Structure 1
Amino acid sequence: IIKSGNNYLGVPLKHIEEEGKTLLVKGLVDQDKAEIMGEKWRQESFKEIKHDNAEENDGF
């Protein structure tokens, strides 16, 4: 999962190259599918963070 602007993209590692502090996506990547995968990851990850914080606040 990589962040591009305000979006998260699910991109296979074989398509990622590092250029300094920048990650470059190389090759053919289905942009729509990458955005769907990234959004699904974001929703699941942020749900877990919110859930974990709620447990900490409740003392569990």
Structure 2
Amino acid sequence: MLFLVVALFLFGVLMGTAGHVPVPVTVVAGLAIVAWLAVFFTKERRKAAKGGGR
């Protein structure tokens, strides 16, 4: 639960700064978030496929 709070806080900070930083910085940050989410999604799918689901 604490992880979700921190993630939402960081997301809010990023979205708040998106209007104040150059577009390339915002795009790079967005791509980093997408890459992290893709890795997380892949790991969770593999875990579920192995029967380790909740």
Q: TM-score, normalised by structure 2?
A: 0.59
The aligned residue for residue 42 of structure 2 is 50
Q: TM-score, normalised by structure 1?
A: 0.54
Query: What letter is aligned with 1:32?
Result: P
Higher helix share: 2
Higher strand share: 1
Give the distance between the partners of 1:33 and 1:53, measured in 2 at CA.
30
Aligned residue pairs total 40
Q: Aligned residues: percent identity?
A: 8
Structure 1 regions of 5+ residues with no counterpart? 2-9, 16-27
* Backbone CA RMSD of aligned residues: 2.3
